Amino acid sequence: MKKGMDLFKIKPKTKNILQLYNILLKEYGPQHWWPGDSVFEIVIGGLLTQNTNWGNVEKAIKKLKEEKLLSPEKILALNTERLQTLIRSSGYFRQKALRLKLLIEFFKNEGCKDFEHFKIKDPTEFRKKLLNVKGIGPETCDSILLYGFKIPVFVIDAYTKRFVKYYCLSVPDLKYETLQNFFQSQLPKDHKIYNEYHALIVKWGKNEKKECHCLSACGTHRPAKEIPRSKKHNASQTI
């Protein structure tokens, strides 16, 4: 593997999440998240991807499409056992079938008649309500809001926590709200940037080593590893 840009030759006093974002974007290019042909597909994908990989979610969504059942009304009307069979590839299919219907019911009760044109007037209040839906935790909730409805909330997942630890970014703890506030306080409030940054962190997490790689004395320092050289992209969302 050829050596390329060394992400860790950044002076500690100047290293920050804006720099890391721009470097990752130039190295990996835009990730074009979240995959989906409609807002509704993105919403249910956010739930189905819990505790599984995206490939398994794609299989489940493909089956729903093949049966022409990928719509809120049809899923609600569908026999639960039949729905379980269709989404079986996503894992935990019994739970997810029930929670998928609860999620759709929630949006219906919030006045959503068309996912493509549904507007969230008060994102903060809506987020609180969505978190009360059974099976919807912070990561799923924020994925739905960010990717489905373009609400600027930063999504935190296992890759994000590893990213923060890896670069020894200055946070008091790794709790969801702490990390979310950390990123949102240091980035422009822009759903496109939140979208791209989270996607880039996932890309990074699937390509880089897990050890701490900071330039400070954190006690777990490792020799610097360079990011593989790749074809540079048009980084339209650099900041």
| pLDDT tens figures, 41-62 | 999 999 999 999 999 999 999 9
**In angstroms, rounded to a whole number, what is the distance separating the alpha carbons of residues 93 and 42?**
18
In this structure, what DSSP letter does residue 146 have? I
Residues 44 and 3 in one domain: no
pLDDT confidence bin for 4, thresholds 50/70/90: very low
**In angstroms, rounded to a whole number, what is the distance separating the alpha carbons of residues 47 and 103?**
9
pLDDT tens-digit readout, 61-82:
999 999 999 999 999 999 999 9
By the 8 A CB rule, do 2 and 231 touch? no
Residues 103 and 76 in one domain: yes
Last residue of a domain, one of 114, 149, 184: 149
This model's pTM is above 0.75: yes
**In angstroms, rounded to a whole number, what is the distance separating the alpha carbons of residues 85 and 80?**
9
For residues 170, 137, 35, 51, the Cα torsion angle rounded to the nearest 10 degrees is 90
pLDDT tens-digit readout, 126-175:
999 999 999 999 999 999 999 999 999 999 999 999 999 988 898 999 99
Residues 101 and 55 in one domain: yes
Last residue of a domain, one of 149, 165, 194: 149
pLDDT confidence bin for 7, thresholds 50/70/90: low
Residues 126 and 177 in one domain: no
**Which residues make Cβ contacts (< 8 Å) with residue 61, sequence separation at least 6?**
41, 44, 45, 48, 70
Supply the range of the domain harboring residue 106. Answer: 39-149
Alpha helix ranges (H) inside 110-231: 123-131, 138-143, 149, 158-166, 176-186, 191-207
Number of domains in the chain: 2
